Amino acid sequence: MKIPGRDEEAAEALGETRRLEAVPLLRLALEDADEDVREAAVDALEEIGGETAAQALAIALQDDDSSVREEAVETLGEIGGQTAIGLLEQALADEDESVRETAAEMLTELTAPKGRGQPSIPKPKKVTNTRK
């Protein structure tokens, strides 16, 4: 028996740690039957950031629920980096128009020229040290 809201809280708490060790558990949460848990896992991966979190979001881009896919696209736009750009390019072919539009918007933000001498592809967010 599941207690409503507890898995969402657990996903949120994992994100607050900002530790890479949380990513495998969040991958599992991305496959939970409850849409709210999956969305909380997407949000938590944004908190962690980096390439590993972006790679995990590939699972969310396959979600049956378009709102989860759209949230994953927005999160990839926040995380940035090469993995995120590749996944956003794939999301341009999503069956849902709002997911496609959001992917196009995020790609534009990530790849638009930032000014003279600045790279057009941002570096991924830094992750908190995973070892003490």
Q: What does pTM read for this prediction?
A: 0.82
Q: What is the pLDDT of residues 40-63, one digit of tens each?
A: 999 999 999 999 999 999 999 999
Q: What is the pLDDT of residues 94-122, one digit of tens each?
A: 999 999 999 999 999 999 887 544 444 55
Element (H, E) at 91: helix 82-91
Range in 3-17, 25-39, 71-85 with the lowest mean pLDDT: 3-17
Q: What is the pLDDT of residues 75-94, one digit of tens each?
A: 999 999 999 999 999 999 99
Question: How far is the C-alpha of 3 from the C-alpha of 100, rounded, in Å?
Answer: 34
User: 6-111, what's its fold?
Assistant: Leucine-rich Repeat Variant (1.25.10)
Is the Cβ–Cβ distance between 80 and 68 less than 8 Å? no
